[in-house]
Structure 1
């Protein structure tokens, strides 16, 4: 994950001086360089020094960099720099890959030296030319749920001699026969140091031994989600004699995994046994490898429900060099485990304990001793509340923590304010479902203090209103003569000034016979009316904004406001204004309509993922505007938008040139055969329509047509 880091004043001055030295622009438009004058009214950005261009590109995302590379030949050359190409993942998804068909045919002509490739749900045809071209630069290869046999896999791997990382996931049929890599002369995996075989059902001891024997050294091994036999009784069934050294072709046992780890103990630094049945005896065996100098930097034990705290503490005590630890949804993790982590693994930088329900405030308070912690996930930890966080990572000013996930946590408003004040360097903050603590005032505190945020999630925090995101002073709106009739609705939502001034201007002795729920509905309706009237009458510019506007988080790239149903078009016009915003979720925000969408697409032109599910006010005109203005749109969710008709499909077909995923179920007014119509979209890979979870018919139809060509 890339983050936007601060550019120091010293660096800025150096680059400014360098530009000034090479290009001196006079008022009359004359450019002076090395005492030679050239008549020119503008300065060409293509003439910038390459070091300046490379420095600028370091702040761009992969999508921005590809677009910038189309500006001129010099900028295109800058994108070829190895520093940038190694960050890009080239994904081939849901198609037949063949030298005779696009995109493999087109990619063989590419000059860009990409390093990372992913083949997802691919059927392979003749691919010798494409794979030879890929193999000249490839370093990392991912096979995810591909349709491939052992023979073809080996032929492809022979064309990839330089890869250092191999990931094979959800490819059970590749290992089903048991003859994987058997009698394959001339095949070498000597350069591979990172091996991942996650979520494969038919891996056996024999297959794993054949594969690892080809590797000279293993730095990381991922066997998460594999069917590993840990119980001694099962191992004795397949290895009745203690001296058996021939690996079995029917089962994958921890006995042979330990043997592999012992052979590569000098180099291995990353292990992942997440979502397996690993238990206390297996951890004890790992601890014994400490004598062989097994020093891990990354360890994954997520969803390992057979562990106990004693064996886990013993392992953590022995692995003092850990930098990344994933214990999410591991029930045995408790306060004693955190105490061991704090004392033994003081250099830890990333900790994931999401779903560890046995951790209390006392254990969470110990986290303030991890001075190097940059990434913390405590989501769904029912035992952690406000005190655990304010006495833990936010006990004092903490400028190290960059990422904090704390969704589904019972925290109060004051605790979130303390977090915002003491964690000023946060780049990612997830407060989803923190209903009690996320209010207008706490969101205002976040905007005020966390100016470096890049990702913010307030999912299902339904208490927040437009005032939280815009900083609009509600009491000033009350004084507007045209809004007197909506005074009741605003009265209970004035969070920026003393509410007493509202009480004095209203009927203080008015008796209501409504229930509390009915009062809430009426107040909400009146507040909506007042905000819409202020919007239509253009009164918002005239009122003072004593609070902080969300647009002050200038580098925000992801914003999740799903189910924040008090957010209206006012926020879209006056709060959501980000040039770098990539992901915006407004699902189940019933007050979002065409009015707000028109302004949002102008202020946020870089959106790639947009979720408008269950926004009942979204109509065909809004979809037309969205698809035409957001040229980078890759994922669009519009399920449950009951006003949409076939005209929305027309807009998507005509305007969306990069769309890969479309969710359009529960739209009753769309009568067209969606799969047949969208089959013509060459970029579309995932379609979600009614009565299916993931409709691939369009992909199959498109594939059939391509094969017939």
Structure 2
């Protein structure tokens, strides 16, 4: 027998494609279709794909976020960051304290173009030391850092770090107390041209009487006050940068109508501001005439946010439509003065891509069907319309005429969101990325699976031996003869009076429906003609699904409906029919889930949490408040399996609080813990717990 030359035999592994050796151009092209989480997972596959992740266009979108840590060159995470050779551009320092961090500041300063200080514990000297290193800074955000400005001497004698402010184009000082005219002047005078100015939530004095008190001789320019921040001085700063300023945010301030109008006619100017983006959320002192007059002077606006501004009515909407032909984003949520007359005008905004009309009580079905959904609208991509009193026809009309929608929020539209309207959404809106059906309690499994319940009942009536669907949707006798036969067939022993409440009867009916549908599925009794609808699986790119309060949704939808590779956020709170049975399939069909809400799902037990934490490797936020069956075993599963969990909500889980400090100290990634007795921990103990939680 002759010997075989094994050197010529090809190994079976050589037949499979080697994706690690793909050309870099192809890898980069693939990466352009991935979100941040998928990019990080792809970059961990091999060194070549990791190298592709360092390319500038992907690196620019990465935020380095330090939360609730002490930044010191000798402590984690700073000492690990110092070993990183990858250049990052955006940094956020949230609720951090500073130790000896000179090397860290130098490392950040080499590449940083954007820095965010959010409630950071630092004084002016630490801020100056940071700014000396940030020589390439283009965006500066200082949020909730009131102690930094408390002394009033902030930037008084800026010295050798003044050049760090020169190239800043985006400045945000939102939600800060103790800002003054003098501080604002010192800061803005160091900047050549401000394109974005955010002063939302700041204490700004708008009343003329207050202004006269601090400037009795109108000495605004000569001696800016170190005690108060006035609107006239803010307007003066905005005027100085009017050739650059494109975005202004004065949300949650006391700005009035005359003050807003004054921005367009500040003294010593040629024409006032000409903005592209304006945010005035929650400005309750505005009036209709002031808003209308200002909008007439802003033809270049592409974004307008007037949410929760009480003066906005149909006249304002008419001014928006007539004066802002380039508008792409409009937020009028909570503006109760808008009626159908104003909503109908919104259909005339030809470039509108994002619209938020949530909580506009005056808008009903006619305002939608004769407005944005009057004709085919292929421009609108984001629609938020929660808490509206609309009917089923309006939802169907939107689904038919707005086929390019990426985000649709119809939460709390209890009359309009039914199985039929949800089926219409699934049929026509195939590009949806986010769908919210929160508290739409009329939605059942049929809406998400496409099964025709009535045809199942008809088949069951022809095969009574199965006995699957007799527990719900009973068929009423149609003739007098049938009623007589029904009465004669009921014996006195079988006549029982139910003592359940209406809510309890509904729960029992839902449970019976769930068991019947499961039995039909498992026995393969569903034919093609019974599935005459559309399964939600057809929304292939869905990333967020909100089913909070949809208490008719059961394990049937989880097992036979939800199958999304890209799904990242799933909200199922108050879905009482959800159990381990549905979760077993969900974790296999939706492996990319990062946030899941199972609050008040009382059938969730320890085995369910063990399954979720073991299978969902990307889990970052877990909400299980009110799940009364959970014990310390669930907490153990979270600690063992969750490697990147950042948020944990365990309100009303009264059996999970054994040695909580010692247990949670091992969960190094945890940043937000929501529980009932957090306030009972004294300050020293809670601070020590936070330290141990962080690193």
C-alpha distance in 2, partners of 1:195/1:483?
69
2:181 to 201, 205, 226: 205
Mapping 1:215-234, distance limit 5 Å: 215-234=191-210
1:417 to 396, 401, 423: 396
Matched, 1:359 2:328: no
Describe the SS at the equivalent of 1:288: coil
Match of 2:635 in 1: 649
Match of 1:487 in 2: 470
C-alpha distance in 2, partners of 1:137/1:82?
12
1:95 deviates by 1.1
Match of 1:122 in 2: 96
Deviation by residue 1:678-703 (Cα, 9 ceiling, x = unmatched): 12211001111114489898873355
Match of 1:7 in 2: none
C-alpha distance in 2, partners of 1:320/1:564?
43
C-alpha distance in 2, partners of 1:706/1:653?
12
Deviation by residue 1:454-474 (Cα, 9 ceiling, x = unmatched): 000000000000000011121
Mapping 1:439-518, distance limit 5 Å: 439-478=418-457, 479-480=459-460, 481=463, 484=467, 486-487=469-470, 489-491=472-474
Pick which of 516-525 and 640-649 moved more. Answer: 516-525
The answer (yes or no) to whether the contact 2:423–2:447 under 8 Å persists in 1 is yes
1:154 to 128, 150, 158: 128
The answer (yes or no) to whether the contact 2:93–2:118 under 8 Å persists in 1 is yes
Match of 1:85 in 2: 59
2:378 to 388, 391, 399: 399
1:68 to 30, 42, 46: 42
The answer (yes or no) to whether the contact 1:469–1:549 under 8 Å persists in 2 is yes
Match of 2:491 in 1: none
Mapping 1:81-120, distance limit 5 Å: 81-120=55-94
Deviation by residue 1:132-170 (Cα, 9 ceiling, x = unmatched): 112222111111111111100110111111110111111
CA shift in 2, pair 1:517/1:54, >3 Å: closer
1:291 deviates by 3.4
Matched, 1:196 2:172: yes
Describe the SS at the equivalent of 1:90: strand
CA shift in 2, pair 1:651/1:525, >3 Å: closer
Mapping 1:309-348, distance limit 5 Å: 309-348=288-327
Matched, 1:609 2:585: no
Matched, 1:700 2:687: yes
2:660 to 670, 674, 696: 674
1:128 deviates by 1.6
C-alpha distance in 2, partners of 1:388/1:491?
38
C-alpha distance in 2, partners of 1:518/1:156?
62
C-alpha distance in 2, partners of 1:427/1:682?
36
Deviation by residue 1:368-421 (Cα, 9 ceiling, x = unmatched): 111110110000000011111111111111111110000000110011000001
1:252 to 229, 233, 237: 229
Matched, 1:55 2:29: yes
When the two structures are superposed, what TM-score results if normalisation uses the length of structure 2?
Answer: 0.91
Structure 1: tracts of 5 or more residues without a match: 1-27, 32-38, 493-499
CA shift in 2, pair 1:309/1:128, >3 Å: same
CA shift in 2, pair 1:369/1:542, >3 Å: closer
1:676 deviates by 2.9
C-alpha distance in 1, partners of 2:626/2:191?
51
Describe the SS at the equivalent of 1:333: coil
1:634 to 620, 637, 644: 620
1:118 deviates by 0.8
CA shift in 2, pair 1:132/1:326, >3 Å: same
Deviation by residue 1:593-619 (Cα, 9 ceiling, x = unmatched): 000011000000100001000000000
Describe the SS at the equivalent of 1:91: strand
Describe the SS at the equivalent of 1:292: coil
1:255 deviates by 1.1
When the two structures are superposed, what TM-score results if normalisation uses the length of structure 1?
Answer: 0.89
Matched, 1:619 2:596: no
Match of 1:3 in 2: none
The answer (yes or no) to whether the contact 1:364–1:392 under 8 Å persists in 2 is yes
